[in-house]
Structure 1
């Protein structure tokens, strides 16, 4: 498609078997047709008989645009309904929760490495973390310790 758009010049006619071959979605097709028309390139569809140069062809493209918008809204509604239903059924979204025992063990290993003179970067890599992750877990452990001492 990129080669076609680069190759076609004003006055050319792009002929396609079906109008939907110009894009992956109806909105993509409409955007491509409008881009080509803006560049003075005609578009013809053989099997659909859609010619954006005629009023009937433009009407068909307009109807396709309306249907594409409707389809996008339906998909969004269905996805949102599915997410809401999954949440009501207890599904948790996002990254899986890390095992606190594993985090504590890795933090102990990293802290021991730091005590032996290794850099934070090296200590973090030793347990498969980034330096920022090491710092984040150290801060969280400090906060937990402070909260437990207050109680």
Structure 2
């Protein structure tokens, strides 16, 4: 639908990516567009929340466009940063997009806490066998990188397993 809306708006170059707008990190297509845009061009999106979900990121994009003499337009919202009204409306939409993202995050955290309290949510299933990690370290003398490679897990997981044991041993020693 978005591709059709952009074609109907007269866009000749359409780039798409399947990355969330919550961050500019990893948004290669956006970076290409921003590098490519020239004076007099317009970056057209269907909705502002498809471009950015934080007011800071949105303002950074608009600032970068402005320095290149380009503007931002949205097909489903009355936004055209070449006008004062368009700029004001854009800022309001950016604030609401960020607010919505924050609300969603808060609801998710609340839901997880409620599920944990009822014993439903237990977090991600453990992929690593802590006993096997310790055995490989102490009996075979393998280093954490070698253990991680052999078990197909990250070094961080190995270190957490080894440090959890060390922490519990310290607690036991203090309790005795």
Q: TM-score, normalised by structure 1?
A: 0.58
- Aligned equivalents of 1:19, 1:30: Cα separation in 2: 15
Q: Does 1:68 align with 2:97?
A: yes
Matched residue of 1:81: which SS?
Answer: helix
Select the residue among 99, 111, 116 that pairs with 1:82: 111
Shift of 1:13: 1.8
- C-alpha deviations, 1:78-100, integer Å up to 9, x for none? 01111211111123235528667
**Residue segments in structure 2 that go unaligned for 5+ positions in a row:** 1-29
- Aligned equivalents of 2:115, 2:80: Cα separation in 1: 45
- Aligned equivalents of 1:74, 1:16: Cα separation in 2: 27
Would you say how many aligned residue pairs link Structure 1 and Structure 2?
133
Matched residue of 1:53: which SS?
Answer: coil
Matched residue of 1:84: which SS?
Answer: helix
Matched residue of 2:104: which SS?
Answer: helix
- Aligned equivalents of 2:95, 2:45: Cα separation in 1: 22
Greater Cα radius of gyration, structure 1 or 2: 1
Aligned to 2:162: 136
Aligned to 1:12: 40
Greater percentage in helix: 1
Alignment of 1:23-38 (within 5 A): 23=51, 25=53, 27=55, 28-38=57-67
**Residue segments in structure 1 that go unaligned for 5+ positions in a row:** 114-118
